[in-house]
Each structure stands twice: as structure tokens, then as C-alpha cells.
Amino acid sequence: MIKTDISALLPFIPEGIEPWLEKAGEAASRLKDEKAFAGWLHLPSGTSRELLDAVNAAAAKIRGESQILLVIGIGGSYLGARAALELLRPTFGRDGEPEVIFAGNNLSGQYAAELLAYLEDKDFSINVISKSGTTTEPAVAFRIFYRLLEKKYGEGAPGRVYATTDANRGALRMMAEKAGFTRFVIPDDVGGRYSVLTPVGLLPIAAAGIDINAMMDGAKAAEAEYLRNSADNSARLYAAARQALYAKGKKVETLSFWEPRFRFLGEWWKQLFGESEGKEGLGIFPASLELTADLHSMGQYMQQGERMLFETMLYSAPSKTVAIPFDEANSDGLNYISGRDIDYVNRTALEATARAHADGGVPCIRLDMPAVTAASVGNLFYFFEVSCAISAYISGVYPFDQPGVEAYKKNMFAMLGKK
Ligand code: PA5
């Protein structure tokens, strides 16, 4: 389970956390009453064994015939999978494992051209993911890369496409049926940014060789824990603490993590919270910091810039480390920490940073995650989803729509001359 520690926050919230926990309890009741978009709430306990088997079977086929899986999707249709892959796969050297490449999350010709050239002489499959089935970026990418797939495999091309989309609606749904792609469904009542535990996330994650059954088991434990009606529910505590700080003018939250492999978890988290809360002129602006790297870029601002920030430090002890060697000459002066492992220094940096930021007026919420495994990552996804929905309800906004996303599309389509 994720543990939330708000002990360093109390000087910033003189009224205490109790009134905010009460609001979190009321928000959790509203969440239970949600009808249109509450499908994600019971995905962990409600996903059938048959669906997991079908996803695992498709993943095994992809792994059997492709060096590369091209995952085409944007926003909630790719960030969760990318986060899980970065967290759970080794950073270097993945011999024998298929490479997973993400496309359709930008409109860069440079990216597309380089990727086309890279794929030219490789065996690949495509997982195209779009809930609406009409989003421009993935649609453009799919058109381009499916052309290459057809060129390489002719009539075999449709057999290498896995389309994850709405059950009944959208252009992708129609194309999939016509061409005979393997289809997976994003349930109607699960919004894009809450869809990582549907085939949206599960298929690419399984194709990368990660145990999705274990991930769902971790999420199932999370479902039982974080929907529990109790003041020591750590998801509620996190939501309550965020809103208590927001009410004190802390309008920016940085999710700070201490391992490079959390970078895309940060991206996923930003979308989840940004799209759920940023509306009606309200919302905490979600930012992320990769530490210690960003202490050397954003550290100055964090310490002495405008005091509208609070920080959420997410820490998970690593499973591997390296000891700092002793050096006779000691020319770099590092012998005072020789024999220590790097993570001892990392952990010390965390404590030092938390203390310095608190002294500088930046309140810090601490989230402790158990060792990074498929199960704990499933648990973490669910933890943030529940906290996010509760936090949005406390601030008085509806967490499950994103009307503002349409504004740029409207302008772009008009300028491109779309009928
Ligand atoms: O959270 C959301 O619903 C959105 O951000 C979507 O994930 C994103 O716009 C992609 O949409 P789609 O899956 O329909 O292509």
C-alpha cells in the first residue's frame, strides 16, 4: 500500500487536517454515486479472467512474431502504459524482449520520418489505441504506419494490428471491423486518463513481458483499501492534504521522485490531475521534478521562488544499488562516503531537500511506495486515480470531463479546412 505522511504539513494548516478529511469523506460518497464515468472504480475486482487471458494471448502473439510493438495513442491512451514500462523494465539491455515504441502522441514529421526509416527492415505489429477513435494525432500516425505494415506484410497486415477503442462508436471501431483487426474495448464508463487498467494499458504492458495479472492483483488490493471509509485511508489523506494546501494559496504541486524511471509516471500523473481538476478557473497546477537532477535546474525556484508551491515526494526504495568505491588518492574528496551505496546518498538528499524546502516555505507531503513491482505499480495507479477524483470533488469540479481540450481542436480543424 502507498503510505501518506503529512506530518511536515501541520505548520501550514493551522486548522488541522480533520475538516479536510471530512470533506474527503463526503467527496468519496459522491464518487460512489457517480454513474456516467465510474467504470474505472471497479476495474480491478471486475475485470474477468477471460479478458486477461485474451490480452495475454494477444501479447504472446505479438512477442512471438514482432521485434517491435508500435503503440499509437495519445494522452490517456498511452501515458499509463509508458509509465508502467519505464518503471518495470530494465533501463538498459533488454535482450530478447520486444521493443515498444510510442507514436501518435505528437504531430512531428521528423519523428514520423525517422521512425518509418527505423521500422523499414524490422518486424513489427501495431496497437492503435483511441477511445473516441477520432483523435487526430493517432489517426494520422496510424494511416502512415499502417501503410508501411501493408507494404511489408500485404494481406497479413491486418493480422498484426490490435485496435483498442470504443465498443460501438468511432472511425477506428469501423475500420477495425472492416479490416478484421483484433479488437479490444475501452468501456464506455471509463474515461481516457482512468483507463490504464483496461486493455488500453494492459496490452502494451503484457506485450512488454510484464505480469498484468500481478498488476491487477495489486490494483485489487488498492480497490479494497482506498475505497474504505476510514480516516486512515491514505488516498483520502493525500486528497485532503492537497486541497488544504490549495485553500492556503498553494496552487502548484510538484510530484518529486528520486529515480529516473518514474519520469513517465510523472507524465501520467500530470494528465490525470491536470485534466480532472483544471477547469472552471480552478485547479492545482501539476508539475513534476526528477530528483536529484532537477535540484540543479529547478532547485533555486523551489527554494526561493514565489511561494505558491507545495511538493509531493514519492519514494520507493530501489531493488539494486552500487557501493561507492574507496580510492587511495581521494583526489575527488569522496572517501567520506566510500563504502556507502549511492542510494544512501540519494535518501540523504531526499531528507535534506525536504527539510530545506520546508524551511523555505514549501510544504511537503510524503508518499512511500513499496518496492517497484507489477503489483505495487497497479496499486499506485489506483491510489492516484482515487485521490484525484476525491480531490476534484472537494474543490467542487467534476473530475471526469475535459471540455477545455476541444478548444484547440476547433481552431485547428477550421484552419486545416476540415468539413
Ligand atoms: O483523458 C482523456 O480522455 C483524454 O486526454 C484522452 O485520453 C486523449 O485525448 C486521447 O483520446 P482518445 O483515446 O479518444 O484518442
What spacing in Å lies between the alpha carbon of 276 and ligand 1's midpoint?
Answer: 12
Ligand 1 atom 9: residue of nearest CA: 75
What spacing in Å lies between the alpha carbon of 193 and ligand 1's midpoint?
Answer: 7
Ligand 1 atom 3: residue of nearest CA: 192
Ligand 1 atom 5: residue of nearest CA: 75
For 32, residues 6+ apart whose C-beta sits below 8 A from its C-beta are 38, 227
Is residue 409 flagged as an active site residue? yes
Q: What are phi and psi of 256, to 5 degrees?
A: -105, 130
Closest atom, ligand 1, to C-alpha of 129: 13
Which residue of the set 137, 253, 275, 277 is catalytic? 275
Is residue 275 flagged as an active site residue? yes
What spacing in Å lies between the alpha carbon of 112 and ligand 1's midpoint?
Answer: 21
Which residue of the set 122, 409, 410, 418 is catalytic? 409
The secondary element (H helix, E strand) that includes residue 392 is helix 374-395
The Cα–Cα gap between 352 and 358 comes to 10
* Mutation to probe ligand 1, out of 128, 135, 269 (largest number of atoms < 8 A from CB): 135
The Cα–Cα gap between 277 and 283 comes to 5
What spacing in Å lies between the alpha carbon of 265 and ligand 1's midpoint?
Answer: 17
The Cα–Cα gap between 177 and 44 comes to 28
Lining residues, ligand 1, CB within 6 Å: 74-77, 130-132, 135, 138, 191-193, 275, 402
**What is the reported pLDDT for 60?**
98
Peptide bond into 135 cis (omega under 30): no
Written as one string, the DSSP assignment of 163-178 is: EEE-SS-SHHHHHHHH
What spacing in Å lies between the alpha carbon of 348 and ligand 1's midpoint?
Answer: 39
The Cα–Cα gap between 364 and 289 comes to 13
Whether 218 contacts 378, CB under 8 Å: yes
Which residue of the set 35, 155, 178, 296 is catalytic? 296
Give the pLDDT confidence of 353-401 residue by residue, as tens digits: 999 999 999 999 999 999 999 999 999 999 999 999 999 999 999 999 8
What spacing in Å lies between the alpha carbon of 233 and ligand 1's midpoint?
Answer: 29
User: What b/e string do you get for 236-255 counting C-beta neighbours within 10 Å, with b at 16 or more?
Assistant: bbbbbbbbbbbeeebebbbb
Closest atom, ligand 1, to C-alpha of 275: 1
Q: What are phi and psi of 14, to 5 degrees?
A: -60, -30
Ligand 1 atom 2: residue of nearest CA: 192
For the chain, which ranges sit under pLDDT 70?
none
* Mutation to probe ligand 1, out of 77, 105, 184, 190 (largest number of atoms < 8 A from CB): 77
**What is the reported pLDDT for 269?**
98
**What is the reported pLDDT for 376?**
98
Whether 249 contacts 337, CB under 8 Å: no
Whether 198 contacts 187, CB under 8 Å: yes
**What is the reported pLDDT for 418?**
87
Smallest Cα–Cα separation from 86: which of 257, 204, 261?
261
What spacing in Å lies between the alpha carbon of 132 and ligand 1's midpoint?
Answer: 7
Closest atom, ligand 1, to C-alpha of 74: 10
Edge-to-edge order in the sheet of strand 99-103: 99-103, 68-72, 124-130, 161-165, 182-185
* Residue 289, helix vs strand vs coil: strand
CB count in 10 Å sphere of residue 220: 21
